[in-house]
Amino acid sequence: MASTTFNQRFYPPELVFNSLPVREQEQLSLVIGSNLIFMILFTIFGIVLFLFRVPVIGIGSGVLLAFFATSLISIKKGHIHRGAWITTAAIAVLSTVVCFGAPFQNTNFLPYRDSCFVAVMTICNYVISLRRKQLHGFFLFTIALWMLLNITLYRPLYEAGVHDAIMNIIICSLGLFTANMSILLYDRFTRRVVSRAVENEKKSSDAFEKISAVINETKEGLNIGKQLSASTEKAAESVEEIDRLYAYINEETVSLSSEAVSIKDTSVLINDKAEKMKNSVQEQSKEITRTSDALAQMSSNLTNISNIATEQRSARRLMKLIQMLPQTSRLQKRFRTH
C-alpha cells in the first residue's frame, strides 16, 4: 500500500513510465528517493547552519532545496530526464558551495577534504544519472572545479610548501580521476549487462512466441487429425451407403432388363395389332369410299327423278289450263252479252 501511494505521488504518468527503457524504469525510484533524501538532509542541514551562524552555506541549502523540489515536480509531470539533469545541477552547486563556502584552514588536509566530498557527490550523481551524458558532464565539471580550487583556494599551500602541496594535489587528483573513471566503466558494464539482459529477454520472448505458435499449430494439427478421423468415418459410412445403392441399382437394372424384354414383346404384339388395325381401317376407308360413290349416284338419280316429277306436274297444269280455255271464252261472251 505504501509503495502504491509513493508511486502515485512522485512517479510520472503510466504511459510515460512504460515508454522508458528497462534500466531507466528501475533507476527512476533511485532518482526520486535520492531527491527526497537530499531535501530532508538539506532542510535539517540548513537549519543547523543558520543556528551556527554560517549563513552562506545555509542560503545555499535553501537554493538546493528548490533544485530538488523542481526535479521532483518535473519527474511527476513526465519530464524524467529534465528532472535528472536538475538533480545533477543541484549536486554540482552543492559541491561548489561546500568547496568554496565551508569553513577551512590552509592546511595540507584541505585538498583531501574537498576531493573526498567531490568523490562522494560523484557517486551520488551516478545514482541519479539516467544517461551517460550526465556522468560525462559531471566529470568535466569536477575537473573544472578541481582546477579552479587549485588556482584560487589552494594557492597559499604552494607558498607554504610546494613539494608537499603538489604531492597532496596529485594524490587527490588521482583519487577524483579514479573515482570518475571507475564509475564510467561500471556504468558502461551495467548498461551492457542490462542491454544483453533485454536482448536475452527479447530472444526468450521470441522463442516463447515461436513455441506457442508451434503448440498452437500442433493443437490445430490435432484438431485437423480429429476432423480427418471424423471425415474418414463419414467416408466409410458413405462407401457403405454407396455399396447399398450399387446393389439396389443392380437389382433394379436386372428388373428393368426383364421388364424391357417384356415391354419389347408387348410392343411387337401391339405393332402387329396396330398393323391389323391399319389394314382394317384401310378396308373400311375403301368401303366408305364405295358407299360414298353409291350415295352420290343415288343422289344424282334422286335429282333426275325430282326433275322428271317436276316436269310432269308442269305438263298436268298446262293440260288443265288448256282444258279450261273454252269455258273461259264462253264466260267472256256471256259477260259481254249482259
281 domain-assigned: no
Which residue carries 557527490 as its cell?
121
- Model confidence over 137-163: pLDDT tens digits? 999 999 999 999 888 888 887 777 778
pTM over 0.75: no
Q: Residue 87: give the domain boundaries.
A: 2-205
**CB atoms near residue 81 (< 10 Å):** 15
pLDDT tens across the length of the chain (338 residues):
445 555 567 888 888 888 888 788 888 888 888 888 888 887 887 777 777 776 666 676 778 888 888 988 998 888 998 999 999 999 998 888 888 877 666 677 788 888 898 999 999 999 888 888 999 999 999 999 999 988 888 888 777 777 877 888 888 888 888 888 888 888 888 878 777 776 776 777 777 777 777 677 776 666 665 666 666 677 667 667 766 776 777 676 666 666 655 666 665 666 676 577 667 666 766 766 776 676 677 767 777 777 777 777 777 777 776 666 655 555 555 555 55
Residue with cell 503510466: 14
Q: Is residue 210 part of a domain?
A: no
Domains in the chain: how many in total? 1
The answer as to whether 248 is a domain residue is no
Residue 293 covered by a domain: no
Helices (H), 129-161: 132-151, 155-160
| pLDDT tens digits, 189-205 | 887 877 777 677 677 77
Rounded Cα distance, 158 and 161, in Å: 5
Per-residue pLDDT at 4: 53
Domain assignment of residue 313, yes or no: no
Q: Would 178 be classed as within a structural domain?
A: yes
Is-contact 55 49, C-beta < 8 A?
yes
| Among 38, 137, 28, CA closest to 83 | 28
Tell me, yes or no, whether 16 lies in a domain.
yes
Is residue 22 in some structural domain?
yes
Cα separation, 20 vs 23, in Å, equals 8
Q: Give Cβ neighbours of residue 187 (< 8 Å, ≥ 6 apart).
A: 126, 129, 132, 135
Q: Residue 167: CB partners within 8 Å, gap ≥ 6?
A: none
